[in-house]
Structure 1
Amino acid sequence: MHSDPRILVVAPDDGLIGPLCQGLDALGWRTVTARSLAGAVQVLIDWPLEAIVLDASLPDAAEGVRAMRQTVSPRRLPVLAIGEAATGWEDGLADIAMSAPPHAAQAALRLEGLVRSAIAEEEVSLREATFAARGEPLTPGEPDETPLRVLAAGKPDRHFIALSNALTERGCEVVAAPTPYTAFDYLHERPFDAAVLWGAEDHAPALSIASGMKRNTRLYHIPVVLYLRGSGEINLAELYNRGFADVAAADTPEEETAIRIVALAKAHRRHLVIRKALESVRGSGLTDPATGLFTPELFASHLARIAEGARLRRRPLSVAVLKVSENDAIREARAGGWLDRALPQIGAMVSRLIRTEDTAARLAPDVFALALPSTRGPEARIAADRIAAVIGCTAFDAGPDKTPFVVEFEVGVAEVMPGESPAVVLERASADIRGG
């Protein structure tokens, strides 16, 4: 059975974007195509699509982007525009502008990031409303107005130097690191908004830096770009699987590559502001003092607002409940007070393991709940099981001369149905635990 389409492709024919569509479909990002801007608007009315891939050669393409976004408001609609015309558009009109179609794996990676950022920004506005209604307005994060900081790692080369100059001309602060060792020294000394790695004749140093960054929780989200000497030197799909946000060949104009790096850096910085705004609620008097998670009352209020937002934006919404499983070790830890000591740490772990846009609550001392926007039931179960598995790898102190105990969870999940109240969906998720 085919899933619903996720991506709207707007193109007069298949000449430019057709192969990209085939690649996206093969990767599970099912596409639907409109041959005109008027047709695209109608498709958006019929389908709750997540993003747009646009052939910028269409007449009035820029105005069409504005019309399509207005059609789906208040849902945010990321746009990937492809074609020479798009690279000259005003900043912000397209989330990503590229002169030529990217590799399908690259497009899927970038689209996934754009969609998650859009959902997180929607959640910021919803959370602001929830806290304002309770008399404690959120303090929005102040954007960092300093120049974008880009790490350029690799041996000097005329192409790489030209790219560094292009980034500098666009207002970036570029820090050169000739070796992986100096690159990691810089990464640990100061914050960066993006890193560009020179492929040169040997890709090993660049791959080493990228792998090291993806193993570090502090550096994990920094976008990493690989700048190759030419095209076709390495399996591009494998590179994107390794965590590269973008790959550019040396025959790509330095100015375009710089624009792409700046777009990634800006998106990363915006992501940090969003996360800071969402995390600021943990110090509020409305949250659970031990864990910083939402209280049952606050969660119910916010879940109602999220559900209404999901209805207006035509997005799915799921709820998961995680309850500490009872076994002999847990009963002994509970009797000795050691479980109570561990639960604040467990709650903090839950808050770190959820996505930026998710909301976590403490419904009871050993019961936690998650609201997962834009997530179907099966996906929510995977996310909740992953959180339970990570926490299950941690051993907690059980007292002197006692074997440390581990915590396992019973997990229940329910996807919100049309017209369903927060209380009912929470009941169904809890019943899913008992029936699981």
Structure 2
Amino acid sequence: MDPDPRVLVVAVDDVLVGPLCEGLDQLGWPTITARTADAAVLALKDTAVVAAVVALRGLEGQATVARLRDAAAPRYLPILMIGGDAVEGGDVDLMMSSPPHPAQAALRLEQLTRAGIAEEEFRLRQATFAAHGVSLQAPDVGETPLQILTAGAADRRFLAMANALAAAGAEVVAAPTPYTAFDYLHERAFDAAVLWGGQDHAPALSIASGMKRNTRLYHIPLILYLRGAAGVELADLFRRGFADVAAAETPEDETAERVLALARNHRRRQAIRRALDSVRGSDLMDAATGLFTRDLFASHLARVAEGARLRNRALSVCVLRVAEREQVIQARSGGWLDRAMPQIGAMVSRLVRVEDTAARLGPELFALVLPATGAAAARMAAERISAVIACTAFDAGKDRSPFVVEFDVGVAEMQDGETPAAVLERASANLIKV
């Protein structure tokens, strides 16, 4: 597998995409440029491409997109188009009239890529469960309109964007202050939130900060709609957790469509997670934790590994083993560690991404399979899970202090020609203290 997956940029010249390509390269998203649709198709066949950016200037949009989709199959290729509208672009994932900030493009490409991988994983998991006689129902996104929260003082442009959302069929709830915004957020579920960055960005940043500290609200996509760009550092805004930032000159209709795209993606991912969680009580799953059993995990790992080879994608396996600590030894002897395992398993399942698979391989041994993830990113994910669980205190019985659980972590990225069993064994052999 190609260790250096790239973003394919299709553009007849660098007028629209030159600075964007340079910025993506600096952010760790190396680009490869094709000047024609024919060259783009060849690049897709010869290079591991994770996403595509198409500059419409000088290209036939719909025909180019269709050719890219066909050439990338069976892999889903996220496509961002610049310089046109939805009619010209056809089946693109995101349309922007002007080039985005590189940090913004990188974030959206990551979101689109992970969404596509989640869809692929759902189909693979359907096949795994079907092979064991269990039907995994399709994700149900519901029939209710998309729920959008708009937070900020009334302004002509902000109201125009909200009207555009409503005209597109979304249900818009307006909150004039951060206090009312959080009241609404705690009362009902939203698919996205748009924050107005007027003369003072402090209220919007306050709402964003509060949402990112709340596990229930963390994944709701946040969009900042700027009144003016003066004094704004876009890269910092994306680091604060904003999924998109609409510049002052962005047309209200385009901003609304970008909001709706994020909202639809969020609702779909939530529906996939619910569909995947629906089998947690199945006899196939570990009774205590609801995670995959050893046998089911082995079966699914083989299927995911074959899918990764077919799509020329990376695949990593992580192993997490309860570390031998004095607190754990004492808790184990009293049976308190066994009592904590259902909670630990539930935490593992919530901390992995929708497209990741978590399993319980033994009484104190867990494993993760992370599609489209290299070894370094996989280790970060496993260590993050370990760190979160290590912050949780578990009951150790009357008159005894609660205990904490830490993990030894092992990670291995599947190599060319390596069997699924071998990569799991190599991850187990790499176990080290976090």
Match of 1:422 in 2: 420
3 and 134 in structure 1: CA distance in 2 versus 1, 3 angstrom threshold: closer
Aligned equivalents of 1:435, 1:103: Cα separation in 2? 39
Structure 1 position 389 matched with structure 2 position 401: no
* Comparing 31-40 and 3-12, the one that deviates more: 3-12
Please show how residues 138-153 of structure 1 align to structure 2 within 5 Å.
Answer: 138-153=136-151
Counterpart position of 2:94: 96
Q: How far has the Cα of 1:434 moved from its partner?
A: 7.4
| Equivalent-residue separation in structure 2 for 1:74 and 1:426 (angstroms) | 26
The corresponding residue for 1:235 is 233
Instruction: Evaluate the alpha carbon distance shift between residue 434 and residue 267 of structure 1 in structure 2; reply closer, same or farther with a 3 A threshold.
Output: closer
Which residue is equivalent to 2:36?
36
**4+ residue runs of structure 1 moved beyond 4 angstroms?**
none
Aligned with 1:328 (options 323, 326, 329): 326
Report if aligned partners of 1:144, 1:269 keep a CA contact under 8 Å in 2: no
Is 1:67 equivalent to 2:64 in the alignment?
no
Offset at residue 422 of structure 1 (A): 2.3
Are the counterparts in 2 of residues 80 and 96 from structure 1 also a CA contact under 8 Å? yes
- What pairs with 1:248-397 in structure 2 (closer than 5 Å)? 248-397=246-395
Letter in 2 for 1:235: E
User: Are positions 1:159 and 2:160 aligned together?
Assistant: no
Instruction: Tell me the equivalent position of 1:87.
Output: 86
Shift of 1:200: 1.5
Which residues in structure 2 correspond to 1:150-189 (within 5 Å)?
Answer: 150-189=148-187
| 8 Å contact from structure 1 (residues 321, 367) kept in 2 | yes
The correspondence for 1:216, drawn from 214, 217, 240, is 214
Do 2:410 and 2:430's aligned partners in 1 also have CA atoms closer than 8 Å?
Answer: yes
The Cα offsets for residues 88-121 of structure 1, whole Å up to 9 and x where unpaired, read as 3476x11100000011111111111111111111
Structure 2 unpaired stretches of 5+ = none
C-alpha displacement at 1:324, in angstroms?
A: 1.0
Letter of the aligned partner of 2:181 in structure 1? Answer: A
Answer yes or no: is the 8 Å Cα contact 1:159–1:250 preserved in 2.
no
Give me the whole-angstrom Cα distance separating, in 1, the residues matched to 2:82 and 2:58: 11
Aligned to 1:194: 192
Q: Is the 8 A contact 1:396 1:405 kept in 2?
A: yes
Counterpart residue type for residue 196 of structure 1: V
1:210 and 1:244 in contact (8 A); partners too: yes
Q: What are the ranges of 5 or more consecutive residues in structure 1 without an aligned counterpart?
A: none
Other structure's SS at 1:371 match: strand
Superposed displacement of residue 417, structure 1: 2.0
Task: Name which of 396, 411, 414 aligns with 1:413.
Answer: 411
State the partner residue of 1:431.
Answer: 429
Give the C-alpha shift of residue 123 in structure 1.
Answer: 0.4
Give, in whole Å, the separation in 1 of the partners of 2:422 and 2:247.
Answer: 53
- Which residue identity does 1:77 align to in structure 2? L
Q: Is this contact kept in 1: 2:194–2:223, CA < 8 A? A: yes
Q: Show CA shifts across 1:137-177 (max 9, x none).
A: 10222122221111111111111111111111111111111
Distance 2:394 2:54 in 1: 52
**Offset of 1:231 from its aligned partner?**
2.8
Cα shift at 1:206:
1.1
Is this contact kept in 2: 1:177–1:183, CA < 8 A? yes
In 2 relative to 1, CA 205–304 (structure 1 residues): closer, same or farther, beyond 3 Å? Answer: same
Q: Which amino acid aligns with 1:41?
A: V
Q: Name the TM-score, length of structure 1 as normaliser.
A: 0.96
**Whole-Å Cα distance in 2 between the matches of residues 383 and 165 of structure 1?**
40
- State the distance in 2 between where 1:252 and 1:389 align: 41
Distance in 1 between residues matched to 2:47 and 2:424, nearest whole Å: 28
CA RMSD of aligned residues (A): 1.7
**1:18 lines up with 2:22 in the alignment:** no
Residues 270-302 of structure 1 show CA distances to partners (whole Å, capped at 9, x for unaligned) of: 111122222222122210011000000000000
Counterpart Cα distance in 1 of 2:414 and 2:5: 20
2:132 aligned to 131, 134, 139, which one? 134
Deviations 1:375-425 (A, max 9, x none): 112221221112112111112122222222211211111111223222222
Q: Could you tell me how far 1:69 is from its partner in structure 2?
A: 1.4
Kindly indicate whether the alpha-carbon contact (under 8 Å) linking 2:409 and 2:433 is maintained by their aligned counterparts in 1.
Answer: no
Aligned residue for 1:50, secondary structure, equals strand
Amino acid at match of 1:9: V
What is the distance in 2 between the residues matched to 1:327 and 1:51? 44
Kept after mapping to 2: 8 A contact 1:155/1:198:
yes
Question: Comparing 4-13 with 42-51, which one deviates more in the overlay?
Answer: 4-13
The Cα shift of 1:5 comes to 4.4
Distance 1:268 1:34 in 2: 31
Is the 1:37–1:61 contact (alpha carbons within 8 Å) kept by the matching residues of 2?
no
Distance 1:434 1:394, change over 3 A: closer
Verify the 8 A CA contact 1:358 1:370 in the aligned structure 2: yes
Aligned-residue offset at 1:435: 11
Aligned mates of 1:378, 1:244 — CA distance in 2: 24
